[in-house]
Amino acid sequence: MEQHTTPQGVDLYRRGILLGAVSSIGYSAANVFLRAVDDCDPVWVSCIKAVPTILVVFPWLVWRYQKVESKFCPPKLVLGLVLLSMTSHFLGNVGFQWSLNKIGISLAVPICLGVLIVTGALVDWWFLKDKPSRRTMWSMAILITAVVVLSIGGKEAFAQLKKTLEDPDSNPYLLALAVGAVIVSGINYGFFGAVIKVVGNRDVSQPAIMTIISVTGFLFLLVISALNGSWRVERNLEVENLLHMTLAGICNAIAFVALVSAIKILSVTRYNLVNASQAALGAITGAVIFHEPVSSWMVGGIVLTVVGLMVMKRNK
């Protein structure tokens, strides 16, 4: 859709960019609240985070099927979305949450987004046959450079966080494990966007997609939380921590609705490039709110992010 040159096409494209920006800001805000509960069980945090999305999309789904349409999502697509949800919630959300108190927002977010951009672009090109334009390729190159630069700056945040560990010397592979979890999370999110795009193109409604994914993810993580005894850990049930998890879920719900809407308009690659602004926002919030170290690398990465987003503007 983004190749249209009519006024209607331009307006639709701008709407997609705006929705992408809302999604990026929403996920960035969610990351702040998730970082605040990084000492809680990551499975439990991800489980509670899914609740606000369900409370938003399920009534929307019921209303839509009563007032707008009555056909249901085909069983094969339901099964695909269920599998996608379980994989995405565990490898994506839980893995990312686990890494936050190991390497901080300043390092976790840029690495995740860098892998996501590359994965999304390859999936977009190979499976959706949507070859990016030259301008998009330039923007991708600049934004990938930005996330690499931000990642280098984020290593200083890890050095500071390592001092707070009970026994740093007993965790020689902690950085590698945390970075590996974030990389897997990025790959997962890259495929996630492409699947949402494919399912949406088959006329499955937005509330149906989001309801299946959020309900399945919540139930799946709830079972795991029951099995690993999350309910018996006091800090997981503290009111302040539950509030932070809920606020993360509210921000995540807003971002998720914006994502599904944006991905119906934009290509996966272009949406991911807009979403790359999370890297700069993550570095800023990590430094301002959680006092993660600020370096010239981070400043340079933020500047490159702004340049990359400007280069991505639509051709006239």
Report, in this order, helix, strand and coil percent for the chain, each rounded to 5.
80, 0, 20
Close Cβ partners of 229 (under 8 Å, ≥ 6 residues apart): none
The ranges assigned to domains in the chain are 9-165+174-311
Confidence of residue 110 (pLDDT cuts 50, 70, 90): confident
Q: How many residues does the chain have?
A: 316
Predicted model pTM: 0.79
Cβ atoms of 269 and 69 within 8 Å: the answer is no
Tokens of 62: 């019921």
Is residue 113 a contact partner of residue 189, using CB atoms and an 8 Å limit?
no
Q: Count other C-beta atoms under 10 Å from residue 141's C-beta.
A: 12
Place of tokens 């923007």: 139
Q: What confidence category does residue 69 fall into, taking pLDDT thresholds of 50, 70 and 90?
A: low
Q: pLDDT exceeding 70 applies to what percent of the chain?
A: 79
First-to-last CA distance in the chain? 15
For residues 119 and 191, the answer to whether their CB atoms sit within 8 Å is: yes
**Alpha helices by DSSP H, 68-173:** 75-87, 95-103, 105-126, 134-162
Mean pLDDT of 96-102: 86
Higher pLDDT, 108 or 53: 53
pLDDT of residue 166: 46
Question: Which pLDDT tens digit goes with each residue over 123-155?
Answer: 777 776 667 677 777 777 877 787 777 666 656
Which of 156, 154, 145, 121 shows the shortest CA–CA distance to 304? Answer: 145
Distance CA 293, CA 1 (A): 42
Distance CA(10)–CA(315), nearest Å, equals: 10
The letter for the amino acid at 13 is Y
Residue 64 has pLDDT above 50, yes or no: yes
> Rounded to whole angstroms, how far apart are CA atoms 265 and 202?
14
Minimal CA–CA distance to 50: which of 257, 252, 255? 252
